[in-house]
Structure 1
Amino acid sequence: MESQRQFVSKCVTKKSVGRRTTNASSSRWQNSLCYTLGLNSTCKKVCKKFFLATLGEKFVAGCVKSKTNTGTAGRDRRNVSSPKNLVSKRLTDDQLLYARNHISSFPAVESHYCRANSTRLYLSSELHQSKMYKLYTETCLSSRRVPVCKSINRKIFKSLNLSFHTPRKDQCHTCTRHYLITEGEKQNEAESFQQHQSRAKRAREVKNAITDVIKVNESRRRMTPNKNSLELVSAYKGPIPLPPAKYKDLMDLCHTLVSPKTFHEYYAALPSSESTRDALGESDVEEEDPEDL
């Protein structure tokens, strides 16, 4: 690719405009491009349209634009980017420390009952990273410091294991107040706060002990009767007999082979009684007499 750029740079030369149709002072066109190709150790001038159509107009324009004073093409800067850690290398330890101290200056509380072993700290729900970064840049401006970029500030925030989501059912007013008071007040209330922590620890131990007792082992689970439940009594002690008319209809279906043979024995074994009343009402459809057909 580099040799191709050098070839195009050699074939395209820049010269002053030879002929003008407008006033030179009002025209922005100061130079003209001459396109040539080598033939028998000589340069032959060729058509611009042919030259650009063959080698590509954008490629030729890029080579001409990057051409140096020596007549060679400049370095191809496509797909060239600075290293990802270039910004981090330019930062000083003082900048990183100042950004870290600024984030740590916001009051944070730790998790309580639901998260006994968690090391994450929680900031006020009124804060967010954009607001904190804005306050940080204002502080740097007032103290004439160069702030770190927002992405670096976000990485520092994550490294401190902080969160803005305040636990809903996981708050203790005593602990929250203790973390928000001054150091002098903390020393005065150190003994009472230690007793509060001990009570919280004992409460957690009792909670864990009860949880272990009420856990259900899947391999030993069984159903236990409820003494307050009512026992349902069967409404019928045996099969309900059919009315004679209904039984006769089933037998007619069997004799005429309308019903499959596999059900004939089942229908024949059904009980029938004269005392059983047909629950269905009389049909509104009049049956046709076979003699009329």
Structure 2
Amino acid sequence: MTPATLDINDRPIRTVISKLNEEFLQEYLRGKHGHHSKVHPAIKDGVVAHINAIPRVDSHYLRAQTTWKFIEGGKSLADLHRDYQNECTEKNVPFANLTMYSRIFNNHFNISFFTPKKDQCDLCSSYNNAREEEKEAIQEKI
């Protein structure tokens, strides 16, 4: 049986020997090329300003227990980015891509799109699940 059969060679040993520098191994260099693209701070500030301009709503039922704010309406993150992109295009200003927009949205803000299951009182959730006739009856009770 030859070493090629088991795919054994001396390459790992030769690599370690070549990276020895006065009895210490050379630093691990993967991902350290230093050519990372930088986003201009004005673009980041524009994204933050756009997200701050979005109207928010407090949690309906758990106001005392949570610091999360919620965005009302049927918008998604892609819709918000599209609105931001249209604003920047009208103003003739450079804009961030969807990845940067979502990174800033998710990491720097305490807001969300969905409403948690416990976020509404029983009356509100029954109103949302009711048919039109039942909705009118519920409105008359209020």
TM tier, smaller? 0.5 to 0.7
Structure 2: gaps of 5 or more residues: 1-29, 122-142
Deviations 1:186-239 (Å, cap 9, x if unpaired)?
xxxxxxxxxxxxxxxxxxxxxxxxxxxxxxxxxxxxxxxxxxxxxxxxxxxxxx
1:118 to partner: Cα distance: 1.5
RMSD: 2.8
2:62 to 108, 111, 114: 114
Q: Tell me the equivalent position of 1:137.
A: 85
Deviations 1:75-118 (Å, cap 9, x if unpaired)?
xxxxx98969823x2x2221111111111211111224335231
Q: Tell me the equivalent position of 1:105.
A: 53
CA gap 1:85/1:126 in 2 versus in 1, 3 angstroms: farther
1:163 to 109, 112, 116: 112
Structure with bigger gyration radius: 1
d(CA) in 2 for partners of 1:161, 1:151? 18
| AA aligned opposite 1:123 | I
Number of aligned residues? 91
Q: Tell me the equivalent position of 1:76.
A: none
Q: Tell me the equivalent position of 2:36.
A: 86
TM-score scaled to structure 1, two decimals?
0.28
d(CA) in 2 for partners of 1:142, 1:82? 38
Q: Which has the higher contact order (CA 8 A, sep 6+)?
A: 2
Structure 1: gaps of 5 or more residues: 1-79, 173-293
Instruction: Kindly report which structure 2 residues correspond to 1:1-293, keeping only aligned pairs within 5 A, or say none.
Output: 86-87=36-37, 89=38, 91-114=39-62, 116-158=64-106, 159-171=108-120
Identity of aligned residues (%): 26
| AA aligned opposite 1:141 | T
Q: Secondary structure at the match of 1:86?
A: coil
